[in-house]
Structure formats: structure tokens, C-alpha cells
Amino acid sequence: MKRSRYSNYFNGFLSDYRIEKRAEKVLNDMQKTGNVVVNKFCSTFKDKKAAYELFKNPSFTEMELIDAITAKCKANQVSEHLLCIQDTTEINYTKHIGRIGRQDTNIGPVTKNDNAGYFCHPMLVVDAKQHLPIGFSSVQLWNRSWDKKSRHEREYQKLNIEDKESYRWIRSAQQTQDLLPQTSQLTIIGDREADIYEELTRVPNKQTHLLIRSCINRRLYRQDIKLFDYLEAQPLELEYELPIQHNKKRKKRIAKMSLRYAKVKIAKPKSKTKKPTGDPEYIEMYTIEAREFPETVPKKEEPILWRLLTTHQISNAQDALQCIEWYSTRWIIEELFRILKSKGMQIEDSQLETGVALKKQLIMALQVALTTMTLKIAYDKNHVVKANILFSPSELDFIQILNQTMEGDTQKQKNPFNIGSIAYCSWVFARLSGWSGYASQPRPGYISLKRGLDIFRIKYEGYSLAMSVLNNNELKG
């Protein structure tokens, strides 16, 4: 059987084989260049024209593209426990609104009402042991209307949860449950925006746990004390040290942390008791507090403080620390958004002229950004996860061929990773980019891996063409 030289993400999901083939090529060209701007990932006028025609083609929607990439995630569900991390990012096209036009119903106001764009809310699925992404279980795209009424005019507090934007947190969890029924345990992770009573009551089941950062000092059922005060009054269970990396808000340091936890009954909010919603009067959960001691807090910084709500049973300090570790994997989805926007993909610099086309483009860009990020994580953590979740059998064959040309004569110049693992592939791509291969050298970064992946795509295309000619000659002979 002839193997496609593309990744086959969309096979069977789009309306026509030719459209699927073009979509596969566009996806691979994006991956090859690390950029989603058509004029940058297409090398010929013919390819540019075909890419523009693909994105504006009305015979398929962004939902069909979402179905294709979530199917890839479903095929990769081999772990007994998956962390499902959800978050929202704004895709801003304000500087392009003159070209797109405010009449486009797929573009609208974003966080700032005078800015234009739409919102993306993916659920990124991560192996709980390896902390390695396996794909997306849900992607929601939406935009607000330019004539949308204010929260006060809409009487937002009186709306059913299904009629609010915040329902996306519940919908993502439900779509993930439907997609991944074979996984024994799912842990849905969300930041403070996910602290929604309906999510606390409707999402958990025998398969699914919640791990949410609390933002509301909630009432406790039939108690006079509220959640944060009750948690702070619990005995200190553990003191531990937490390495803090430097960023715009934090100085690099070793933070001294305190750990407390308790089992609580979260009461139904008073605003929700006035109308029948079907949600119970309370829900039992565990709550965890990780707070930095004052002596390690730098001047002009707030202490680190995480308050988490979870349906996981917390029997001891190690259980609580495990939940904190799982929650800390949220950095992966934050990193995904950075790659999508500022680390080369340049999604907000797209020159497409309609909201529909821009949303289709984003779905492909999400998958490209995920591939690049997964390669970096796999290399850094020396993962043994098989690379078939990212590459086709033919691509993996070629990576092994390339590896033979990249390795040196000494053991120090050999690929140290398991053949066929993602880390093994990352080493090959890093070497293609010019990295020395010595363990004593700094680890390859995103730029090196992206450059190496670009070179691989170019070389693989030539290899595929050569194999195609060889196969045709054998058939003729």
C-alpha cells in the first residue's frame, strides 16, 4: 500500500479527498516553517492561492477540523490517568479589522470592547505520569456580537448557566468525557475562572475528578465560617520548599511553603437557591492551601498562594502534594498559547480576510504548536513515549535513517534515547539544526527544535518523492 507523505490528520473528516489532501499539505507546510501566515509558509504562488482557497472553502467548517484533531487525541488514550487542562485565550485581530470589516459575524469585541477578534478554549490532555501532551479533547471557538448588551442589561446573574459564556468550562469537560470513555480516570483542571458551582456538581463521576483553583470564599453548608477562613484555621500539615522560576511577576527563588487541607461541604450559592436548577444543596470536596511563608517573599511581590478544590480524596500530605503537582501542569497550556502567538506561529498576524477562514486556520495552528511543544518537553524530560502519536510510520522510518547520519563515532555522540520515542526524534531534529549533540552542552530550545523540524520536513518531502518513484518503477517492472 502506498503511504501518504503527509500526516493523515484529516483523512475521512472533510467533504472531499482533494480538500483533505490540501489540508494535510497546509498543515505540514505550517509545521515546516513554524508559521501560519500564508505568505510565509507557502513558497510558490500556486501554493499560496491553494491555501487561501482552502481556508475560504465553504464545503467544510472548523468543527470538522476540530473533530479530526480530537480523534487523534482519542486514538492516543493509552494511559490509565489523564490530566485534562482547560483555559481560554483571546485571539486579537484589531490591527486587521479594516481589512476584515465589522460586518463579519465571526469576529467581534474581545476583552477590550474596542478590540476585535474571537476566543479559543481548548482542553489539552496530558499523561498524568509522563506530563506529556497527547492531544486536544475539545476546542471551542466563539465571538461576541458588536451589539451585545451589557451584563446589567442582560441580567447576567439571572441567566441559566447554559446561556453564559462560562458554560464553556462545563461543556469542555462533558465533551472530554464523551471522547475518552476508555480512560479509567480523568482529572479536569481549571484556573479560578472554572470555580463554578454547576461545574463542581455536574462534572464529577466515577471516571472524572475535578482539580480547580478556588477564587470564591464560598459558604460552607450549615456552618458560620466561610471556605478560606476555615482552610486557614486548619493545622499545618507540612512545610516544604518550592523552586520558583523567574518570570515577569516572580523572582527566581526557593519559596518556603506551608500546606493545609480539609474535607468540606460547599453550600449552594444563595443566588442559585431562588430558582430550581437541579443542582444539590451542597457538594463534598477536599480543599488544599499552599501558602508561601513571609520570609521568602521578595519585596513588592505577593506571596504564592494556591487554594485548590478537588474531588480526589486527600488522606495525607502526600495526597495534597500530588494534587498540587498535577495542578502545576497548567503551565503546559500557557506555554501552548505563547507558542501559538509570540514564539513563531504568529497567529495574530494572519492575513486571511474572514472570521471563518481565521478560525479554520487556528485549528491547524493549534496542532502545529502542540507538536513543537511536545518535542521540547519530551527531550527535556527524557520521555519514552512512542513518537507514533506525532508521526506516521513512514516519517519514523526516515527519522531512523537520518539518525544514522547524525550520530558520531563516540558514545557521547550517539542518540541516548529509546528508538521510536519522541525524545529520540527530538534529538535528531536538534542535531539537524546544528546542535552539537553533547550532553555537556545546553539543551536545545524551541528555536533549535523548530528549525530542525523544518529541515526534517524538507528532507522528508524529497525522501517521499524518491520512494514514490521507486515504488512506481517496481510496479512497472
Model-wide pTM > 0.75: yes
pLDDT band at residue 385 using 50, 70 and 90 as cut-offs: low
Query: Distance between CA 14 and CA 171 in Å, rounded?
Result: 24
pLDDT at 440: 67
Q: What is the pLDDT of residues 348-380, one digit of tens each?
A: 999 899 999 999 999 999 998 898 888 777 777
Query: Distance between CA 145 and CA 105 in Å, rounded?
Result: 7
Q: What is the pLDDT of residues 2-23, one digit of tens each?
A: 444 445 788 889 988 899 999 9
Q: What is the pLDDT of residues 245-268, one digit of tens each?
A: 777 788 889 999 999 999 999 999
Q: What is the pLDDT of residues 297-351, one digit of tens each?
A: 999 899 999 999 999 999 999 999 999 999 999 989 998 998 888 756 789 999 8
Percentage of the chain with pLDDT > 70?
Answer: 94
Asked if the model's pLDDT at residue 141 lies above 60, the reply is yes
Asked if the model's pLDDT at residue 287 lies above 60, the reply is yes
pLDDT at 20: 92
Asked if the model's pLDDT at residue 390 lies above 90, the reply is no
Contacts 24+ apart (CB under 8 A), 423-426: 423/378, 423/379, 423/381, 423/382, 423/383, 423/384, 424/387, 424/399, 425/375, 425/378, 425/387, 425/390, 425/391, 425/396, 425/399, 426/375, 426/376, 426/378, 426/379
Query: Distance between CA 439 and CA 393 in Å, rounded?
Result: 28
pLDDT at 126: 94
Domains of the chain: 1-58 (no CATH), 62-357 (3.90.350.10), 382-476 (1.10.740.10)
Q: What is the DSSP letter of 386?
A: B
